[in-house]
């Protein structure tokens, strides 16, 4: 190759190397672009949500209220929107109102008020409201302690395939509350919740295998379930009821 041609190629290559953006620069620009698009889209979504809420859409009223509460922009006004949707019969908003009172979030903690809001949502079939109402009756929080009522709501809630009420039903059979004590049935319910990685149920199974309640004593299985329970944090009693807001 002739020297002049080689020099031209080297110069051209140098210009390309210095002019071409690095991969990091390209990634950074792409990230900035995506962030700008996301912010623009979120602003539009929020505008649509607010407009729908002002237009009387119950779902939008609840969602806009949640946004105001969770973003910290105006929790009191957010609660007004959620309450509006709840008063017009939206089950998730009714359950959210119950959760606010149960948690003492935005309002003072008030379990009787929580029960008043959970009840219509539970009757409408909201599984979380059914579970929460069962918890109130089981613990006697805001309502008269009533194992039969608690068990009824847990049984309704568990039909949706959720582990928390299954665990509670297992406890009722293990302790003979509202039903005749039956360790075999307790194990059935604990196992149903445990296979869905529900830590309290896993711990209950560990205890059952340790004591031989409804199952033969088995220290290896007891240790297995106990170790599993340590890796997950969810549930009531050993953990806190979450009183979800969504």
pLDDT of residue 87: 98
Average pLDDT over residues 66-73: 91
- For 230, the token pair is 């340590």
Average pLDDT of the residues of the chain: 85
pLDDT of residue 234: 58
Three-state SS annotation for 76-97: HHHHHHHHHHHHCCCHHHHHHH
Average pLDDT over residues 182-188: 98
Domain presence at residue 137: no
Range in 42-46, 59-63, 161-165, 239-243 with the lowest mean pLDDT: 42-46
* CATH number of the CATH domain containing 208: 1.25.40.10
Domain presence at residue 194: yes
pLDDT at 241 over 90: no
pLDDT at 44 over 80: no
Q: Judge contact between 245 and 68, C-beta under 8 A.
A: no
Give residue 11's pLDDT band: very low, low, confident or very high (50, 70, 90): very low
Alpha helices per DSSP H over the chain: 3-19, 23-54, 58-71, 75-87, 91-103, 111-123, 127-139, 147-158, 163-175, 183-194, 199-211, 219-230
Domain presence at residue 214: yes
Domain presence at residue 48: no
**Alpha-carbon gap, residue 183 to 202, rounded angstroms:** 15
Greater pLDDT, 37 or 92? 92
Range of the domain at 231: 161-246
Range in 6-10, 85-89, 187-191 with the lowest mean pLDDT: 6-10
Question: Domains in the chain: how many in total?
Answer: 1
Give residue 29's pLDDT band: very low, low, confident or very high (50, 70, 90): low
Domain presence at residue 69: no
Average pLDDT over residues 124-139: 97
Domain presence at residue 173: yes
Domain presence at residue 180: yes
Give residue 221's pLDDT band: very low, low, confident or very high (50, 70, 90): very high
pLDDT at 35 over 90: no
Domain presence at residue 89: no
pLDDT at 200 over 60: yes
Greater pLDDT, 165 or 232? 165
């Amino acid at each position: 190759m002739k020297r002049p041609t080689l020099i031209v190629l080297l110069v051209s290559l140098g210009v390309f190397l210095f002019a071409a953006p690095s991969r990091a620069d390209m990634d950074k620009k792409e990230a900035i672009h995506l962030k700008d698009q996301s912010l623009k889209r979120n602003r539009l979504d929020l505008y649509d949500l607010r407009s729908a809420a002002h237009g009387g859409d119950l779902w939008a009223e609840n969602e806009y209220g949640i946004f105001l509460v969770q973003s910290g922009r105006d929790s009191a006004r957010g609660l007004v929107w959620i309450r509006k949707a709840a008063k017009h019969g939206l089950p998730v908003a009714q359950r959210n109102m119950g959760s606010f009172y149960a948690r003492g979030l935005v309002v003072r903690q008030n379990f009787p008020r929580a029960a008043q809001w959970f009840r219509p949502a539970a009757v409408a079939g909201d599984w979380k409201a059914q579970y929460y109402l069962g918890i109130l009756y089981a613990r006697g929080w805001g309502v008269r302690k009533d194992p039969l009522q608690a068990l009824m709501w847990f049984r309704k809630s568990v039909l949706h395939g959720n582990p928390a009420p299954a665990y509670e039903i297992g406890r009722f059979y293990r302790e003979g509350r509202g039903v005749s004590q039956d360790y075999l049935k307790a194990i059935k319910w604990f196992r149903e919740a445990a296979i869905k990685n529900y830590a309290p149920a896993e711990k209950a199974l560990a205890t059952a295998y340790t004591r031989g309640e409804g199952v033969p004593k088995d220290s290896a299985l007891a240790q297995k379930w106990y170790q599993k329970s340590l890796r997950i944090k969810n549930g009531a009693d050993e953990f806190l009821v979450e009183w979800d807001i969504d």
